[in-house]
Structures are given as C-alpha cells and as structure tokens.
Structure 1
Amino acid sequence: MYKVFVNDIPIILSTEKKIGKQYTTIPLKQAKFKKLIRKINNGELLYVNLYHKDEERLEKFLRKKLPVVEAGGALVYNAKKEILFIRRNGKWDLPKGKLEKGESPQEGAIRETEEETGVQNLVIRKFIAQTYHVFKRNDKFKLKITYWYEMYTDYTGDLVPETKEGIKKAKWKNFAKSQKALKESYENVKLLFPKEYLTTHPNDRVS
C-alpha cells in the first residue's frame, strides 16, 4: 500500500479492492491522477483508493504520471533521546531536502540535515520508510519521494536554522514536546514516528 499525500489528504494505492466503506475504489488503469489531485485540492474528494492486484504496478504508475523529485530526510535522536525538529511554513517538520546529482539517499539525508540545522556527527541507524507527496512548482504537479532514515548524534553544540530555506527554528524536543509538535506537523511526517509519540505517554495517564 502507498499513501500519496495531497496537502494532508492521502490518495491510497493498494492491492485491495475494499479498504473501507468511505473509500471510492478506482481501478488503476482508469485513474486520471491529475484530475484526482485537483478534486482533492478543491475539497471535492477525501477518500480514494486506486487498485491494482500487482503491487509493483502501483509505484510504476506514480513515477509515470508525475515528474519525480527524490529527497532524503532524517529523524534524529541525541543522547537525551530528544528529536530534532525544524519550524518552516508555520509547521513543525523534520529536516529533509532534494538529492543532488549522483548522491545516494543516505548521503543526501545527512547533508540536508546538517545544512538545515547545523547539527554534526550524524550516524545512520536504520532506514525508516519512503513517503510520497504531491506539490506544485511552476504551475506543474510533481511527486516528491523522500527516503527517511533514523539517525543518532552526540552533538551538543548550537543549532543553526538555514534561514535562506525558510527555516525559522531548529530545536531538540523531548517526548512531551515532540508529541505537541506533531499536532502542528504533516500527516506524512507522523507516519515516521513510533506509535507512542502519537498517543499519551503511559506515565501521563490517569489510572
């Protein structure tokens, strides 16, 4: 299954014909992708499932329908188990950016995180996931595929937000502050976090 976000509304691409009563299922070969994007942007469509029995066809469909921009991003922990966030466009986000020519997703994720926040000594722990979202540039729709990695750093120096990229803040946030930040973040970013970050911490619950 793939979730392609248009703003914060996902277009689902799956091998299942039925994923919920509220979803309109459209066979992949009948899908007019740009028209669906416009309907979502206009508030005319909220739940859509594009179906094909062959999972490999799903991503091929995406890459064929829109120009693809590939990016690398990071979910970074420090020694205090805090997470590195950036503030941009009125939202809390994670550092990420477009891959340069010949650059691997891992290299790009580290470079972009360093450039956007000033953090150093990054070590990749594991690959988390790919996320997909549609954006508009020069009046044309494009598909951004971001490769996300969990990273660790022992860096304790100052963070320096890359203001020329519109980043207002770069902050380490503990568990509670991360939960609060995620309420002002993007749906595709929320997919990267362990489930406990999207719920109340067990120690905070009233017994």
Structure 2
Amino acid sequence: MGDRSAGGAGSDAEAGASEAWAEAVVAGLDGARAAERALADALRPAMSVKEENAQRRAEALRAAAMGLGAAGCASAAGVSERLLASWRAEGSVFDAALSTARSLAHVHGVVPDVAANPAVLRVALDAILRGVPFIEAGALVGVKRDTFYRLRRGNPHLGALFGAAQNLRRRSVSPGRKRKAELKGYRLVRLDASEPPRADPDA
C-alpha cells in the first residue's frame, strides 16, 4: 500500500514538474515574440515596409527549409496565405527561393514532424499563442486532426507544451473579448519615400 502511495505521489510530482517546465518554455516563446515587437516599435520611425517584408520573407523561407507547406510558411512569417501567395506571384526571385528551400528539405529528407523538429513545433506553439485553435494549429504544420490529438495524448512533453500555450493564451485574452481563430492581421509600416504607395493585398 505504501509503495503504491509513493508511486502515485511520484507520478503527481513528475506531472507537476512537466507542467512547470512547459509553462517556462512557453513563457519564453511569448517573451521572445514580445521582444521582437518591441524592437520593431523602437525602429518604427525609420523602419519601412521593405525591411519588415524582408524579415517576414526570411521567416517563410526558413519554414520552407523545414519542409512546411504554404500554410505553415505563412504562419511562420506572421502573414496570411493570401499575402504569401501575392508575394510569390509578384516576385519571381522569392517564389524560386521558396521552392528551392522546400526542395532542399526534400533532398535532405527533412519532414515537418512536430514531434521531432523544434522549428516546426515552435510554429505550432506560436500559432496557438496567437489564438489559432489547437486543431487548426496542427493543420498549419501538416498534421491531421486525429494524429495531432494522438501526439498530444501520447507525448507528455508535447501535451504539456500545448496545454501551457492554450492556458497562456486564455489568460492573455480579456473575458469580454471574443477569441479570434484567424492569423493576426498584417500590419503595414511607413513606406520609403522612393517607393510609391501600394494597396494592401489583404484589404
């Protein structure tokens, strides 16, 4: 009886430690996102849409090199799939670079495995922190609904991380505010004087 009680206490302690670890990891990810926003705000008077677009395209290319599809690349870049498609249609160099990045992943056998690739896992967690529902976050990284649920139940670390991300998101949203499932809207910044104004493709 004593052994069983000790075993149960040990399991509870392990679960508590896993939750605390996951909360710390997710808080770090959320803090990094906040720091990136703060840096952009600090440079706002001088930063133009050209620099912001370049940064977002770089994130999309990184995601493509991890084997992610259009939805995952757009999510990693913090833009809509529609805007990503517009960038590809309007820029042959970027389109070729994105295709090459995905080919690179294929050649080296890199698959967007959320259970084995930290970069892919981060895309899913960042999406949840932005308010994307759990299942839709799985779809962004190419995981089917049932598989995503099995991963959460079967992998204690993943389960703790997903739970921590959802909890942090819930705490960050005021009770009277409706939660939004779509990706955060693309925010334009000052245009360079040398660049003619152009309409936002998502408008």
Structure with greater helix share of residues: 2
Could you say which structure has the larger radius of gyration? 2
The TM-score bracket by the shorter chain reads under 0.3
Q: TM-score, normalised by structure 1?
A: 0.24
Structure with greater strand share of residues: 1
Using CA pairs under 8 Å that are at least 6 residues apart, name the structure with larger relative contact order, 1 or 2.
2
Q: TM-score, normalised by structure 2?
A: 0.24
